[in-house]
Each structure stands twice: as structure tokens, then as C-alpha cells.
Amino acid sequence: MTTSTVSTPEVYQGQFGEFTITQSDRTGVIIYRAGLMVAALSFAIGSALVLFNNNPIVIQAVTPLYTCFCLALGVSLLTIHIYMASLHRLLQAFWLIGSISAFVIGHYDSEPFAITVYNQPLTLFGVGFTFVALTGIYFKEAFCFNRAETKVLTVIVPLLLLGHLLGILPTPAEQFLLGGWAILFLVFAARKAVQAIPPDIGDKSVFTYLKNKSSVGV
């Protein structure tokens, strides 16, 4: 006769009480990180095509890569753990605005998507919202985990986009910033892949407290 042991979940002490981490919580974190990795790889490949190849036919490949990047980022924004629900929804709204803008530009402009955005900086007033959402992730990770690469990315992204929008950055500077962005994004995604899962879930007692507070209207 054999006996089986059922492992009990570890109990964590949160700010507002005890909580446990479920398999569903862990799956959500894995999906969040997978989305970041796909987004980082898509962005890096697209950036490499822009930086190292001037063939218009090759540049057209940036469009499906950008679509993959947007979809993966959307998945990460759906599964990321952020205590402030209003901020979470705001980042998702930014992503949606940027994605719709990119869809319209990509389907109703005769030029390849990357060339249109580069030659017409005003398109960043729409497409740029996607990168505002991405910068929100970088800022959250920098604040929560003190990661050097996300601190730098929080500065690089608005610097590059605003610099291009205002036309104040020379081409070599833009290329340098784009290359640095792609590399650091990959570093960030790779480091997230090997990070322990519980810290990404956060203090579930805080989520419960905020949810209950919101439900009673206090």
C-alpha cells in the first residue's frame, strides 16, 4: 500500500493578510514574460532590418514584425500585475490607441509602414501611444525591481520618439538610440525569463484590499 503526499501551497504574509500563489497566478506570469520575449525579439529583428538594410522589399518585413510586436505587447499588458487598476487600464488604452493607429497607417498608406512612420513623424501622435504603454512597463519594472536596463529604457524611448518628432536628433544619434533600445529590450526580456515567479505576482493581499475597497465605494 502506497501513500501519496499532496504538497500544500506556501503561505505568504502580505501587507493586508496572508495569501497563497496558485498555478493560475504562475501561468499568468509565464504568459506575461512570453509576451515580452516575443515583443523583444520582433522589435530587435525589425530594428536590425531598418538599421542594416536599405532594401525597400526587406523593409516591408517590418510591418508583420511590428504586428507581432504589438500583439505580444498586448498579451503582456493583459497579464501584467499592477496594483493600481486605473493605471493598468490606462496602459491598455494607450496600447489600443497605438495599435489602431498602426493598423490604419499600415493598411491605408502606400508606403511600407516603417518608412511612413520615419518620413512622417506626426504619425507618432497615434502610433507612439503603443510605446507609451511599453515605457509604462519599463517604468514599472524599474520601480519594482530596480533593473538598470529598464531605467535606461525609460529614458531612451521618449528621448528617441520625441527627438524624432521634433526633428532635433541627427540620424546617427537616432540609429544609436534605436540599437540600444533593441539590445536592452532583449536583455530585459531574457532576465525576466529567469527571474523567480512570486515577485512578479506581487502582494496579492494588496490586490484583494484594493478590490474590496473599490467594491464598497470607499
Encode the chain (218 residues) as per-residue pLDDT tens digits.
344 444 566 766 666 766 677 888 889 999 999 999 999 999 999 999 999 987 777 888 999 999 999 999 999 999 998 888 889 999 999 999 999 999 999 888 788 899 999 999 999 999 999 999 999 999 999 999 999 999 999 999 999 999 999 999 999 999 999 999 999 999 999 999 999 988 888 767 776 666 666 655 54
16 vs 128: CA distance, rounded Å: 38
The HSE-up count of residue 102 (CA atoms within 13 Å, CB side) is 24
CA distances to 23, 30, 177 from 101, in Å: 36, 29, 23
Is 130 within a domain?
A: yes
CA–CA separation, 135 and 129 (whole Å) = 10
CB 95 within 8 A of CB 130: yes
- pTM over the 0.85 mark: yes
Is the CB of residue 206 less than 8 Å from the CB of residue 15? yes
Per DSSP, 139 falls in state: H
Q: What is the pLDDT of residue 218?
A: 46
Structural domain includes residue 140: yes
Q: Residue 84: inside a domain, yes or no?
A: yes
**Of 201, 211, 209, 212, nearest in space to 12 by CA:** 201
Interstrand relation of 17-20 and 11-14 (parallel, antiparallel or unpaired): antiparallel
pLDDT score at 3 = 43
Say if 91 falls within a structural domain: yes
1 within domain boundaries:
no
The reported pLDDT for the residue numbered 30 is 95
Q: How many domains does the chain have?
A: 1
Is residue 17 assigned to a domain? no
The verdict on residue 215 lying in a domain is no
Q: According to the model, what pLDDT value does residue 50 have?
A: 92
Containing domain of residue 177, as a range?
Answer: 22-199
In a domain, residue 167? The reply is yes
Is 194 in contact with 184 (CB distance < 8 Å)? no
Q: Which are the contacts of 155, defined by CB distance < 8 A and separation ≥ 6?
A: none
